[in-house]
Amino acid sequence: MRLTTRGRYAVMAMVDLTKNGLSGQPITLADIAVRQEIQISYLEQIFAQLRRHDLVLSTRGPGGGYRLNREPHLISISDIMCAVEEEIAMVRCESKGDGCLQEKAKCLTHDLWEALGNQIYRYLKMVSLEDVCKRRIDPFGSLDSPQTIQGINHDRHVSLVPDFHEEATHG
């Protein structure tokens, strides 16, 4: 996936802004930079893009800074990623291109990776800033209700051999 530092930092900064801007007072980029250990010059670039996409409002002068332009439950993670021009894709060819091979054909696994990229986009569209701030994210990909996925343990490793103890208790 083409997830860059810019996309990760944009999400981190927006979560910081959400958590620390509850009083409605503008939050300075300097404060976010210190808390998240991100260079302020990089945050300035990111917040210029977030402002252009109406995700944040800026206030100049003493006491100035940034605030969310919408309620946290109305801003999805994909909104943030798209605002900073982060492509959520798993294929190596461009989304508007004919294919990833020299003859402009699709590679044999193109559809698999394209489908995975679409699933990632849909998931990030479902997750809001509020979900992240309130820690409503399950490490296995569901929101609100943790679920057990057969074959995956809590260390995020895929097991090729079923756990016989779980099979005995569930079936």
- Per residue in 66-102, pLDDT (tens digit) is 999 999 999 999 999 999 987 766 666 655 556 677 6
> Half-sphere exposure of residue 101, counting CA atoms within 13 Å on the CB side?
7
Calpha distance 71→87 (Å, rounded) = 24
pLDDT on residue 170: 47
Max distance between CA atoms of the chain, in angstroms, equals 65
Looking at per-residue pLDDT, the higher value among 22 and 18 belongs to 18
pLDDT on residue 151: 47
pLDDT digits (tens, 9 = 90+) for 131-159: 999 988 877 765 544 444 444 444 444 44
* 81 and 7 Cβ atoms separated by less than 8 Å: yes
pLDDT digits (tens, 9 = 90+) for 100-115: 776 777 778 888 888 8
Share of the chain above pLDDT 90, in %: 47
Calpha distance 129→11 (Å, rounded) = 8
Mean per-residue pLDDT of the chain: 80
Q: Provide the CA 156 distance to its chain's centre, in angstroms.
A: 19
Helix (H) or strand (E) holding 57: strand 56-59
* 68 and 25 Cβ atoms separated by less than 8 Å: no
pLDDT digits (tens, 9 = 90+) for 45-63: 999 999 999 999 999 998 8
> CATH number for the 5-133 domain, one of 2.160.20.60, 1.10.3720.10, 1.10.10.10, 1.20.120.550?
1.10.10.10
pLDDT on residue 105: 77
Phi, psi (rounded to 5 degrees) for 66:
-125, 150
Calpha distance 168→162 (Å, rounded) = 11
pLDDT on residue 113: 81
> Half-sphere exposure of residue 120, counting CA atoms within 13 Å on the CB side?
16
pLDDT on residue 48: 97
What tokens appear for 140 in the block? Answer: 């296995």
Mean pLDDT of 28-56: 97
Mean pLDDT of 120-139: 90
pLDDT on residue 145: 44
Calpha distance 84→165 (Å, rounded) = 46
